[in-house]
Copies of this chain bind each other. A is one copy, B any other.
């Protein structure tokens, strides 16, 4: 619960400008006039404590691989090998995960029968081909998103999943690895806001100091990253499907374009889409316009509208001034309250390793993961260009 004395001290020393970066780190749970509570863990890791599978990593072009590796380890994954040729990636990976053996080739990992899972984050257009090779080698695969950059790749992935009975999992981390998003799922499943009608995601991202070389060359080429709807938007379409419990859906309208980065003509800096499913509808905006003054990479929001209430997530930041992330606000029949979700335990890793052992789909539904890809690829293909004067 809220500590009013500590908060008052913060306030009295805060001054009037530019204070965010100097705040103490404990989340300031409450705010004037709103009831506050703390979400429980929501997940019991005990039944998963003794499970183990050996896994390897191939492709570290996006450092999302660090979070993916850590998630699998939390579920009992034993990291036995990794493969990349980039010296900096090798050093950074070992700095985080210890002196893991470096394979001499991808083939060395694919040929190792003790390895049951490969996690991959190569350049986006290489992710699906890698996954297909992994599945054909008799292993499950967990890809960074976007895992699939063309509809042709998608068809080949679906064919290989059907033939090999292996998993092509996709780490949609903006739900699976965000505590507030996990807790929102629990609340919705409990009927806290009635029947879900719609989701709205606003998903700004920081492009960083591009003139200083902050992004690799492939970041600017659409045939490599797949376009903004395919890349960032896959996170949000997955949330739309998940929270509306839609098992079929289509994209009603989509836009994608470059409104303010003429020096990178293939780069898409803004996009949006409206999707409709058999469980609800969704709107998604994605962009690369996080302002320089925002103290985190993006003010990601999710609004879930239900027949009896709504939920708002401020996943990574609260523009109202609460420290940290994982902020959930709910308005329902009885009132309005704030829920600090930082104590929630992330279930993906434990459930995913269990799925590998049991051939179940509790961590991620295979059909949903690939429907997400289908929707964003179709949205990207049909997108109109917003022309900003």
Contact = CB atoms under 8 A, between A and B. Distances in A.
Given A305-B289, A335-B18, A260 B197 contact: yes
A291 B291 CA distance: 33
What's the number of copies of this chain in the assembled complex? 2
A33 B14 contact: yes
A351 interface: no
A333 interface: yes
A384 to B, nearest CB: 7
B32 A321 contact: yes
A306 interface: yes
A329 interface: yes
Interface stretch (A97-105, A162-170, A219-227, A268-276): A268-276
Contacts of A16: 1, 35-37, 337
A47 interface: no
Interface residues of A, number: 83
A336 B20 contact: yes
A323 B32 contact: yes
Interface string A332-363: 11111110000000000000000000000000
Contacts of A53: none
A309 to B, nearest CB: 4
Interface string A176-202: 000000000000000001010110101
A172 B32 CA distance: 31
Given A18-B334, A23-B32, A291-B308, A386 B281 contact: yes
Interface stretch (A64-72, A231-239, A312-320): A312-320
Contacts of A272: 198, 274, 281, 283
A267 interface: no
A137 interface: no
A293 B333 contact: yes
B389 A331 contact: no
A46 interface: no
Interface of A: 1-2, 4, 7-8, 10-12, 14-20, 23, 28, 30-37, 193, 195, 197-198, 200, 202, 204, 252-253, 255, 259-260, 270, 272, 274, 276, 278-281, 283, 285, 287, 289, 291-295, 299, 303, 305-310, 312, 318-323, 329, 331-338, 384, 386-389
Which 10 residue pairs across A and B have the least CB separation, nearest first?
A34-B321, A253-B253, A31-B321, A28-B32, A320-B320, A293-B335, A33-B321, A291-B309, A17-B35, A281-B386
